[in-house]
Amino acid sequence: MAKITPFLWFDDQAEAAMNFYVSIFKNSKVLGVNRYGDAGPGPKGSVMTANFELDGQVFTALNGGPVYKMSPAVSFVVHCDTQAEVNHYWEKLSAGGKENQCAWLEDKFGVTWQIVPNVLLELISDPDPVKAGRVMQAMLEMTKIDIQTLKQAYEKT
């Protein structure tokens, strides 16, 4: 087991969120669900925690009530090799949520994700500040990242 596990606080949607995420990411699975007992604080028999794995990363989701809300101050980056991967994760995770600028989206549960093609990180790290700057400018004009547009900005002469 990993030393660090992301722990997500939901009002009452932990199990639904877990099932949604497991359906999107390859090599993912439900690890278990724990339910509240007589001691509460949730209704007896309702989901307390949902434990799951997304492509090797273990998560725990808690139904903790309306005390805390999700914030984009914490997000999950999904590194993608291809435009097909970008499209898949963007379409699935943004369904019912909200698309934001520069590869960011908020899913229907309020969790923030960044769907980032690896080539973006390579191109904006180029030692040529002009090329890197053109890529950065192109990215700032996007919501979902388009790899071909990034490459065109990079190669522009």
Report all structural domains of the chain as residue ranges with CATH numbers, in order of start.
Answer: 1-67 (3.30.720.100), 70-157 (3.10.180.10)
With left for phi above 0 and alpha for psi between -120 and 50, is residue 67 left, alpha or beta? alpha
Between 5 and 1, where is the model more confident? Answer: 5
Dihedral Cα 142, 145, 149, 152, nearest 10 deg:
110
- Structure confidence at residue 11 (pLDDT): 96
pLDDT beyond 90 at 136:
yes
Q: How confident is the model at residue 40 (pLDDT cuts 50, 70, 90)?
A: confident
Q: What is the pTM of this model?
A: 0.94
Give the pLDDT band (50/70/90) at residue 105: very high
- Average pLDDT on 34-60 reads 95
pLDDT digits (tens, 9 = 90+) for 51-91: 999 999 999 999 999 999 999 999 999 999 999 999 999 99
| DSSP code string of 24-51 | HSSS-EEEEEEE--TT-SSPTTSEEEEE
pLDDT at residue number 8:
98
Q: What is the pLDDT of residue 2?
A: 79
Q: What is the pLDDT of residue 44?
A: 94
